[in-house]
Chain A
Amino acid sequence: MLGRRGTLKFLVGPPSLWLALFFLVPLVLIAAYSLRAGSGAIGPSEPWAPSLEHFREVLGTPAFVRLLGVSVLMALVIATGATLLAYPVAYFLAFRAGRRAPLFLTLLLVPFAVSYLLRVMAWKLMLGPEGGINSLLSTLGLTAEPIGLLLYSRPAVIITLIYIWIPFAALPIYAAMQRIDRSQLEAAADLGAGPWSRFWRVTVPLSLPGALLTFFMVFIPTVGEYVTPALVGGTDGIMYGNIIGGFFTRSANWPMGSAMAMIMLALTLTLVVVGVRVVNFRRVTA
């Protein structure tokens, strides 16, 4: 008879194998590639010589470093913007929507199930020079020439990505707010705290882990974005991820691209670790 212990290896084995092969091995491989000499599309069977040349080149090229800085900054702005805008949305769902909260939540999430390429395209249809808003304005005789609305620029990328992330960003905050014990708010009220004081001193601290989770759930995919910048960013709006992608497609230089990817990964993980330290998850959620 197969007992509990005997079952364990069947529970642990397949996930470990799959994730080792398709998650750990690729990461080890990209780390190894970033540390090998040579350039171009070099195969794994060609000679490996350890070298830091690619890291030196990336960090020694002001354009790359600047783009990395700009991308991190954009991701910070986007993640902060999405978190701040999603916070009142989550607050409404958790404290004001009452019985209709599940319906409102569904309404909020439906757009997120629509292909994001197409939601971006819809904005282009509206904002572009031949788009809906410009043609509406000129039909009504309000403008003579199309106005260059925010398209093909860095602000366009920022606005588009904040907009794309808001529904998803509300989820972790909403979950954290749902876990807040309502009696704590009542206790604060009984002790004479007004609505704002209750909000700042009870709700905000208790929902902070959710807000931080939101921040990283937006920041991590955003810092490596290369699809949205290519769609609405134009030539001035590209991000660090576009350069990484370029080294694996147009101008193949795999070790160089790997080094750039490793630098971004290291930066991302550092920020996550710092963030988790700052808000001690276990203390707040326990």
Chain B
Amino acid sequence: MRAVGVGRTRVPLGPFFVGMLVLLYLPIAVLFVFSFNAGTTLSFPLRGLTFDWYAAVLGDAALLNAARNSLVVGVAAATIATVIGCLVAVAVLRFRFRGRRLLLALAGLPLVVPFVVMGVAFFLLFVAIDLPRSLLTVAAGHSVIATPYATLILIARLGGLDPALEDASMDLGATYPATLHRVVLPLMGPTLVSAWLTCFIVSFDEIALAIFLVGGDPTFPVFLYGQLRFAQRLPVLVAMAVLLMLATVALAVVALRLRARSE
């Protein structure tokens, strides 16, 4: 038998891929260098090595507060979206009922509405129900835009699980909720974590929606956006960003690992 690899085109895809990686990592390397640079502009030759910016992060209450806000919003939004995604996945894949396609569409459609439309629509909702804008409203908004991601990831996983496992559990006398709790959830465990982390990252980096929904207490991207015009603030912001970057990357790697292991 002839292997497919034989007679492949000579297009240098490897170098193309490496070049793409270099281009993608270049700005990150720049941020990293900048955060240890003694000057407030990135001009060569560099002024010298300093850890001052990292020390300044710890004394910057507004900056730390914004990061903490994003953390709280991200946890709340990711939790809501993952619960919704999980319920929708089980309902849609394990039941036939009227409105099944509607439910699936509802959980997926936030993906096809541009954020700016969603943002102003939420803005009008919170005006209409007279709910002052705050981190709560940002979390509600983020929970909706993260729902399609959680739903798609969890449907893909649950679709690969044999429904016979649930039948066996119920034949052995378990109620359906007990079956979900003791058979389905453990099997979905790693995927649930990876869906949650994906939603968290979606929320943590989100600004287009957050700008319309945030009150006086900003999330990190909104705070960052407001501070970008002050050049002398840049190094401290970048130092904070490098710290967050390391944390986010760690989270992302955990999410990918978990998903890879469960597949």
* A binding-site residues for B, Cβ under 8 Å: 1-4, 6-8, 10-12, 14-16, 18-20, 22-27, 29-30, 33, 43-44, 85, 88-89, 91-93, 96-97, 102, 104-119, 121-123, 125-126, 130-132, 135-136, 139, 163, 166-167, 182, 185-186, 189-190, 194-196, 199, 216-217, 220-221, 223-227, 231, 241, 244-245, 248, 254, 257-258, 261-262, 264-265, 268-269, 272
Contact = CB atoms under 8 A, between A and B. Distances in A.
Contacts of A185: 4
A209 B115 CA distance: 24
Contacts of B248: 113-115
Contacts of B183: none
B49 interface: no
Given A27-B121, A85-B20, 6 more contacts: A15-B84, A22-B141, A126-B42, A227-B225, A261-B117, A264-B117
A194 B4 CA distance: 10
Given A23-B144, A224-B114, A224-B117, A108 B43 contact: no
Tell which of A104, A199, A224 has the most Cβ of chain B within 10 Å. Answer: A224
A111 B24 contact: yes
A248 B114 contact: no
A10 B178 CA distance: 14
Nearest to B137: A22
B176 A91 contact: no
Interface of B: 1-2, 4, 6-9, 11, 13-14, 16-17, 20-21, 23-28, 30-31, 34, 41-45, 80, 83-84, 87-88, 90-91, 94-95, 97, 99, 103, 106-107, 109-125, 127-128, 140-141, 143-144, 147, 170, 175-177, 180, 201, 205, 207-208, 211-212, 220-221, 224-225, 228, 234, 238, 241, 244-245, 248-249, 251-253, 256, 260
A11 B90 contact: yes
A44 B84 contact: no
Given A122-B27, A132-B44, A265-B113, A224 B260 contact: no
Contacts of A163: 23-24
B134 to A, nearest CB: 15
B124 A117 contact: no
Nearest to B88: A15
Interface core residue of B14, B103, B118, B224 (most chain A CB under 10 Å): B118
Contacts of B170: 4
A132 B43 contact: yes
Given A96-B14, A132-B42, A3 B31 contact: no
Contact of A29 (B23, B124, B143, B208): B124
Q: Which of A25, A27, A104, A106 has the most CB of B within 10 A?
A: A27
21 contacts: A1-B175, A3-B176, A10-B87, A20-B106, A23-B110, A88-B11, A91-B13, A110-B252, A111-B24, A113-B205, A114-B241, A114-B248, A115-B244, A115-B248, A117-B207, A130-B43, A189-B4, A220-B112, A221-B114, A224-B115, A258-B124
A131 B120 CA distance: 35
Contacts of B241: 114-115, 118
Contacts of B7: 189, 194-195
B176 A216 contact: no
A29 B124 CA distance: 7
Contact of A18 (B6, B84, B99, B221): B84
Contact of B127 (A43, A106, A244): A43
A136 B249 CA distance: 30
Contacts of A30: 117, 120-121, 124
A22 B147 CA distance: 11
A100 B134 CA distance: 45
Contacts of B8: 195
Per CB-CB distance, the 6 closest pairs between chain A and chain B, nearest first, are A224-B114, A122-B27, A26-B121, A135-B43, A224-B116, A113-B252
A167 B144 contact: no
A118 B13 contact: no
A223 B114 contact: yes
Contacts of A195: 7-9
A88 B16 contact: yes
Contacts of A244: 116-117, 120
Highest count of chain A CB atoms <10 Å: which of B42, B128, B220, B252: B42
A250 to B, nearest CB: 12
Nearest to B41: A130
Contact of A7 (B25, B103, B110, B176): B176
B257 to A, nearest CB: 8
Nearest to A188: B4
Given A26-B122, A29-B121, A261-B117, A107 B112 contact: no
